[in-house]
Amino acid sequence: MAKQFINLIKRVTMKQNKFNTLSECLESENISHMWDGRPLAYEQTVGLTYADGTKYGHYVSVYRDERGLYERPIHYSRN
């Protein structure tokens, strides 16, 4: 019973880090509006600066692995 409870807690608290689509990847961090629509090739990383109205914008980086899965995006304010 305790092991089942621990597994349940892990599923609830752990974030998913791999996604099948670019859309799922960006939505995981609520930043799909920041993406400019460009696709990613296999084993490619794309970084861009989203103009959010601040002086330096918001940086977004997405990686697609050799299997076609997208990793959770990295993003932060550049200010």
How confident is the chain (79 residues) per 10-residue block, as mean pLDDT? 66 80 96 94 97 96 97 95
The residue whose two tokens read 């692995």 is 65
What's the confidence (pLDDT) of residue 7?
64
pLDDT number for residue 12 = 56
Q: CA-to-CA distance for 62 and 47, rounded, in angstroms?
A: 7
The pLDDT value given to residue 15: 80
pLDDT of residue 4: 72
Q: What is the pTM of this model?
A: 0.78
Cβ–Cβ < 8 Å for 22, 35 = yes
